Structure 1
């Protein structure tokens, strides 16, 4: 396993208008490490994921992925996201005019990878037989599963998940969380999951709390 951290955050700050969201935040994520970030609403958890993914830019500090600075150029950042990242959005961002199979195939197509793994991933999230359905035919929980399949299908180096079980019942949440964890470990990927759910957080290797002082590890009782 490489000794270079998959992700390095150094003195990250971010403000919106006159509100400081993140200040002096530093953290290093090792290869193969899976962490959960918890914290109060509005503390900056989703903002942090967007900064790591290059969807937004910090006001100060440095972000490195595999030892390389996150590109500031939009095109270069897009190429990096396409190849190295899998992002599970809270709002799904499933494309309505594409079938489920086409949605999940997109990362494979963009990275010039075989498309057959899309069918495997749809089956893994419990949507076998629904490949030719369109998003408007699905429930919120089913759309969340499509988003998860799409984020995992190209075996990304770093997975970022924003409340990935927010629209799922408890039993489905357990299944999906186990899938996410098993895919991470099987592919030696690293992952950050932002969640309010104790159930989701307990699947991670480490749990961190984000507050105005930065990120700090915690322990939850009765972890398996």
Structure 2
């Protein structure tokens, strides 16, 4: 499903955050990536998502290099098959919660009748008509998570998805993410500093200057 071949990325000649990184993830695998601040975890997610480009190396999705795709094809791939959960939320302020969550469905020509069910799953039942300005940071994070999962993506990328949530809500959201990833046979990557969040994945990987290395296996909460 996802192949990283000798990925190198730096932001200055003397500051390479990723060097010759290689790894392969198959469909259905759900991994957590941990590591010290500044080691390149979020950078790696942005590269996989196609939001940034590596200085060298290649990222392949189902055998096709993202860098070789035309812009329209890459955009269509992200729209149909990717689900993003990033720290900045990227919730559109002029749309209601239901409209924000429905966006991936509308862009892909899918019926939106499951939006209310998803709102209930993330603990926002009856709030679909509200606007983002009426929500707390934790509630906005839940909207972002619902939007990322609503169209059943084949690749889910999550950057600290529970960073703004209280422990009980975080537990519910982590279980929802795992259920959706497994039910859809998707590949999932969660970047986190939380050992509790990481434990919901099948496998924990540590990102260091020497690449990705397997840590202890995740377990179900």
Asked whether the two chains share a fold, i.e. TM above 0.5, the reply is yes
From 121, 126, 146, the equivalent of 1:124 is 121
Change over 3 Å in CA distance of 1:111–1:38 after alignment to 2: same
Cα distance in 1 for residues equivalent to 2:141 and 2:67: 29
For residues 67-78 of structure 1, what are the structure 2 equivalents within 5 Å?
67-71=63-67, 73-78=70-75
Q: Which residue of 1 aligns with 2:2?
A: 7
Cα distance in 2 for residues equivalent to 1:183 and 1:221: 17
Q: Which residue of 2 aligns with 1:147?
A: 144
Q: Which residue of 2 aligns with 1:210?
A: 207
Q: Which residue of 2 aligns with 1:30?
A: 26
Alignment root-mean-square deviation, CA: 1.4
1:85 aligns with 2:56: no
Change over 3 Å in CA distance of 1:94–1:221 after alignment to 2: closer
Q: Which residue of 2 aligns with 1:16?
A: 11
From 26, 37, 59, the equivalent of 1:63 is 59
Q: Which residue of 2 aligns with 1:183?
A: 180
Instruction: Count matched residues.
Output: 219
Q: Which residue of 2 aligns with 1:106?
A: 103
Cα distance in 2 for residues equivalent to 1:119 and 1:70: 34
- Structure 1: 5+ residue stretches without partners: 1-5
Cα distance in 2 for residues equivalent to 1:71 and 1:223: 36
Which 4+ runs in 1 deviate beyond 4 A? Answer: 220-224
Change over 3 Å in CA distance of 1:141–1:192 after alignment to 2: same
- Structure 2: 5+ residue stretches without partners: none
From 163, 168, 177, the equivalent of 1:166 is 163
Deviation at 1:80, TM superposition (A): 1.2
Change over 3 Å in CA distance of 1:209–1:115 after alignment to 2: same
Deviates more, 1:161-170 or 1:117-126: 117-126
Deviations 1:37-86 (A, max 9, x none): 00000000000000000000001001001111114544332211101100
SS at match of 2:188: strand
Q: Which residue of 2 aligns with 1:3?
A: none
Contact kept? 2:204, 2:214, Cα under 8 Å: yes
SS at match of 2:46: helix
Deviation at 1:189, TM superposition (A): 0.9
Q: TM-score, normalised by structure 2?
A: 0.96
Q: TM-score, normalised by structure 1?
A: 0.94
